[in-house]
Structure 1
């Protein structure tokens, strides 16, 4: 991959795909909608917390296994013990997430730009992330979202560990020019991790809350992925 190009590395969970879309499956196993929303929120919270704890302890489990354990924790916090078939159905919903509409528009816009290469950069496993992409509207842009996927399994570290960003730079052939690699993410920890490793970053602030994280700042902030293309009009 030419180091003369700008590389956009797209996060998956919470950036291209909506993790809260699992709520339709979660509703089948709880009594009311408020409980369903609480489970969905805590599932994601425990999922991320587990990755950070594993990083801190110098341990690694695949993101699929982390997601499974976080799922059991989230339901357990509501006093619900899941049976194996229920766990499998809920886990399947995590490989069938809804693609954000602005993600489709953004990848389409990038496809017409010269000098920009796009990659998928995720904590997820290659198998699960590949399944999400292949079953989504983004599949039609597989020539733009280049493979192989850049995933945590390759380095056995999760974001925001420096090792995973160094792995991204190696895959993008930008180890000597990290500023040409832009991580595009809706997750503040990912944005800050990229910046601390010398990459640029774009934070997708869909909720419009503004940047409040105190450990660093993104290079750019956008409200929608549809605004991404304008940042690189001179690329």
Structure 2
């Protein structure tokens, strides 16, 4: 039996879909903004791990978003910020993911997700 384990964020789920969905509110630099958000989010997870303090992946995503908003000098309403976080919670899979996972299962493979995301974020 073969088993395949995939990282959720960036492998199965499109990390930049939330920012892309709100690019009108973010502006023409939405891709750079999205990259900053994700980079800072991951840096925060590394930092909390190194100091031995686990923090919610969701909370760190919020902190990363706040950092990106400030770093890019954006004026984002509370509603837009909430919409960005809601979109992050409902992250879209890349278009080919369903087909690839189905093909692996059809061949008898077991598939699983490995993630440092909070369980409710992956439900």
RMSD of equivalent CA atoms: 1.7
Aligned pair partner of 1:53 in 35, 47, 54:
47
Q: Does 1:63 align with 2:57?
A: yes
Q: How many residues align?
A: 123
CA distance in 1, matches of 2:49, 2:75: 28
Q: TM-score, normalised by structure 1?
A: 0.49
- Bigger share in helix: 2
SS of 1:111 mapped into structure 2: helix
CA distance in 2, matches of 1:103, 1:27: 24
**Higher RCO, Cα 8 Å, sep 6+:** 2
- Greater Rg by CA: 1
The runs of 4+ residues in structure 1 deviating greater than 3 Å are 81-84
In the TM superposition, what whole-angstrom CA distance separates every residue of 1:81-136 from its partner, at most 9, and x where no partner exists?
Answer: 5443322111011122222122122111112123x221121111111111xxxxxx
CA distance in 2, matches of 1:123, 1:28: 30
In the TM superposition, what whole-angstrom CA distance separates every residue of 1:26-69 from its partner, at most 9, and x where no partner exists?
Answer: 32323x31x21111110011111111111111111110000000
- Bigger share in strand: 1
CA contact (8 A) 2:19 2:84 kept: no
Question: Where does the alignment leave 5 or more consecutive residues of structure 2 unmatched?
Answer: none
Question: Where does the alignment leave 5 or more consecutive residues of structure 1 unmatched?
Answer: 131-235
In the TM superposition, what whole-angstrom CA distance separates every residue of 1:150-176 from its partner, at most 9, and x where no partner exists?
Answer: xxxxxxxxxxxxxxxxxxxxxxxxxxx
Alignment partner, residue 188 of structure 1: none
CA contact (8 A) 1:72 1:82 kept: no
